[in-house]
Homo-oligomer: A and B are copies of this chain.
């Protein structure tokens, strides 16, 4: 999800997910689209001089509800978020694996590694999966 994205692109992206494109939201989407790793609320906050934590919090919440971004619980204590792919509906079939680097602390979407199918015991109903691998990332190993 790289950055070459005009303001118009962003408006359209928000629009396609039924999110009213306010100034704040465009700024947040801009930050999100520049990330190579997932980002949490505290880190997002640090990208702004004067923005309020609550607003950012609620922006992320809206984005998540509208499936513009997805949540990643990596066990670091901060919930992280990353952009969904264009077609993602956050259904079990859309899900991919995540990777948390113990060294740099970054959490990556492995967009092209789908979460493996699991056969649950009888009677269990699957709604979602959070799969996070931890280890050392490629950059930190070099």
Question: Interface of A with B (CB < 8 Å)?
Answer: 71, 73-75, 79, 97, 99, 102, 110, 113, 116, 118-138, 141-142
Contacts and interface: CB of A to CB of B under 8 A. Distances in A.
Count this chain's copies in the assembly: 2
21 contacts: A71-B75, A73-B74, A75-B130, A99-B124, A110-B120, A110-B121, A113-B118, A113-B119, A113-B120, A120-B133, A124-B136, A124-B141, A125-B136, A125-B141, A126-B134, A127-B134, A127-B135, A128-B134, A128-B135, A129-B134, A130-B130
A119 B114 CA distance: 11
Given A116-B118, A123-B138, 7 more contacts: A97-B118, A116-B116, A120-B135, A124-B135, A125-B136, A127-B134, A131-B132
Nearest to A136: B125
